[in-house]
Amino acid sequence: MEPEENNAERTVKKLLADMQTRLQQIQLGGGKKAIEKQHEKNKLTARERLEYLLDKETPFVEIGAFAGYEMYEEQGGCPAGGTVAGIGWVSGRQCVVVANDQTVKAGAWFPITGKKNLRMQEIALENRLPVVYLVDSAGVFLPMQDEIFPDKEHFGRIFRNNAVMSAQGITQIAAVMGSCVAGGAYLPIMSDETLMVEGNGSVFLAGPYLVRAAIGENIDAETLGGATTHTEISGIADYKFATEQECMDQIKSILSKLGTRPTAGFDRVGSRAPAKDPATLYSILPADAAKPYDMVEIIERMVDAAADDKDRSSFEQFKEDYGKTIVCGYARLEGWAIGIVANQRKIVKNKRGEMQMGGVIYNDSADKAARFILNCNQKRIPLLFLQDVTGFMVGSRSEHAGIIKDGAKMVNAVANSVVPKFTCIIGNSYGAGNYAMCGKAYDPRLIFAWPTAKIAVMGGDQAAKTLLQIQVAGMKAKGKEVPAQDEQALLEEIRSRYEKQTSVYYAAARLWVDGIIDPLETRRLIAEGIKAANQNPVIAELKTGVFQV
């Protein structure tokens, strides 16, 4: 029999290969024919534009690559939510960049497109990062207008955010490289500076066809709202360029002149490689997600080595012998000081000598985590949550000991934490454990998932059995007999449906996570997130409100 760690490594690498295959398809946008049509118009694709714009050999954190994945099959799909976006570097300045993908339904906005664009603006607002919009969109996807147009978190919220960011001094630059029509016309014009490409860029509230239908005027797109019109007649645009490259060169020039601002002052020293080989991460996670492993081994392959010993990790545990199903401690990650809260997945022994299940939050571990989170806020140290949690401990003993009270204390600390929080879902993310460990609802600055992640109210087996009991009881109440083979078939059907919803791709498609990442990329991506967070000098005063002690 092969060692378990070899099975584990093979499983993770297979998951990563599958992820790369899916990503490669997504990166084609609307497909090769659509890309060729874009090139025929002397236009670059969204990814080609970003490749030209971003500084060479600098990190790019793509956000929402799997947005919309398998969500709009009847409409022909919406790869990456019809936009390519992320955090990158332009002229040495860290920025949020958002590029419409015209190869996907002419860059039309699906519901997930709006959600993704709002997420990018949220990142810019939280971190006070400049924003570059590369605009090339036909506007709202009309067959789904009711899901994108009128609500608070819909299309119009984007323009509201344009105004709010401008008032806060966050630079916004929009380059119109294609169509920009109807309500979408407000985005570039509400930016600080608007650039247009001659021949391809156009901005108007109503295009030529609608103008003809509405008022009987015959006019072409270029005369109605092209680059010459808006730089020479209306004064709406600030610059015009013959090529996209010249346009993006001007963006680089503008950003190169931005003044420096105060930072949050998060502590950083020289980066050191991890004490243990990060490549061996793959062999630590068991092939069977239910099997235990030592989370400290994961952490020590992610954080820097100690300053005084390259063979020793910088990770220093807080209350190591108390509340052992959550690991807390201080470390450095690419030089940045960071506090880590992680679910311990190995079976541990508590202070009474009793065995506790890994991945479960007990009273003492919730109490420890809450205290550690407050400590990090006191010291202005960013927090990283590593999730592999099946939930809080249940049963009479835990209930009588006040597990709800202790869990609420931890949730309170997470919710009111004012230092930047980052989350990585390594394995399970179930029930209230998702909340307590800083799930999406608790405003992590960035939230990523490994291909091994699963997100749900409870695990597939437990959920399927619970739902089966409810359905069978309902059928029997109506006088229907349920043979054993029918019950088993129903169980498998429920389990299959539920498992699909717990998939990491299901979560990423809906932007419950910002991306699915290679475990080896975690260190780099979180470090980029802390760099971004450091750009916002404003940290609110910590207030925890009322909670039971």
pLDDT in tens, 358-404: 889 999 999 999 999 999 999 999 999 999 999 898 888 888 877 88
Residue 288's pLDDT is 81
pLDDT tens digits along 233-291: 999 999 999 999 999 999 999 999 999 999 999 999 999 999 999 999 999 988 787 88
More confident position, 438 or 152:
438
**What is residue 464's predicted lDDT score, i.e. its pLDDT?**
67
CB neighbour class for 172 (10 Å; exposed up to 12, middle 13-18, buried from 19): buried
Stretch 523-543: mean pLDDT: 95
pLDDT value of position 128: 97
Q: Tell which residue, 201, 250, 258, has the closest CA to residue 225.
A: 201
Per-residue pLDDT band for 2 (boundaries 50, 70, 90) equals very low
Asked if the model's pLDDT at residue 459 lies above 60, the reply is yes
Residue in 111, 114, 117, 125 with CA at minimum distance from that of residue 98: 117
The predicted model gives 62-77 an average pLDDT of: 96
Residue 271: count of CB within 10 angstroms of its CB: 14
Of the listed ranges 186-190, 228-232, 413-417, 528-532, the one predicted with least confidence: 186-190
The predicted model gives 519-539 an average pLDDT of: 97
Mean predicted confidence (pLDDT) in 155-172: 94
For the cut 70, the answer to whether the pLDDT of residue 206 exceeds it is yes
Tell me the C-alpha to C-alpha distance, in Å, between residue 276 and each of 293, 345, 438. 16, 19, 27
DSSP codes of every residue in 383-421: EEEEEEE-EE--SHHHHHTTHHHHHHHHHHHHHH--S-E
Instruction: Report d(CA 263, CA 532) in Å as an integer.
Output: 10
Question: Can you give the pLDDT at residue 356?
Answer: 86
Q: Collapsing DSSP states into helix, strand and coil, what is residue 159? A: helix
Mean of pLDDT over the chain: 92
Average pLDDT over residues 33-59: 96
**Pairwise CA distance, residues 266 & 382, whole Å:** 8
**How high is the pLDDT of residue 282?**
93
Question: How many Å apart are CA 26 and CA 85, to the nearest integer?
Answer: 13
Q: Are 84 and 23 in contact (CB under 8 A)?
A: no
Cα 429 from Cα 444, distance rounded (Å): 15
- From the list 233, 137, 239, the residue with the least C-alpha distance to 194 is 239
Q: Quick one: DSSP state of residue 107?
A: G
Question: Is the model's pLDDT at 3 over the cut of 70?
Answer: no
Residue 473 burial by CB count (10 A; 0-12/13-18/19+): exposed, middle or buried?
exposed
Q: What is the pLDDT of residue 460?
A: 66
Backbone angles phi, psi at 133, to 5 degrees: -105, 125
How many other CB atoms sit within 10 Å of the CB of residue 72? Answer: 21
2 or 417: which leads in pLDDT = 417
User: Is 101 in contact with 30 (CB distance < 8 Å)?
Assistant: yes
Whether 1 has a pLDDT exceeding 50, the answer reads no
Q: What element of type H or E holds 349?
A: strand 348-349
Q: What is the pLDDT of residue 245?
A: 98
The whole-number pLDDT of residue 402 equals 79
Q: Is 308 exposed, middle or buried (0-12, 13-18, 19+ CB in 10 A)?
A: exposed
Distance from C-alpha of 61 to C-alpha of 537, rounded to nearest angstrom: 22
Full-model pTM: 0.93
Contact 69/27 with Cβ under 8 angstroms? Answer: no
Give me the pLDDT at residue 514, please: 98
CA distance 123 to 154: 17
Query: 119-123, 208-212, 224-228, 296-300 — which is least confidently predicted?
Result: 208-212
pLDDT digits (tens, 9 = 90+) for 313-322: 999 999 999 9
Q: So what's the pLDDT on residue 140?
A: 84
**pLDDT of 475 above 60:** yes
Whether the CB-CB separation of 295 and 344 falls below 8 Å is answered with yes
Mean pLDDT calculated for residue range 285-313: 92
Percent of the chain with pLDDT over 70: 98
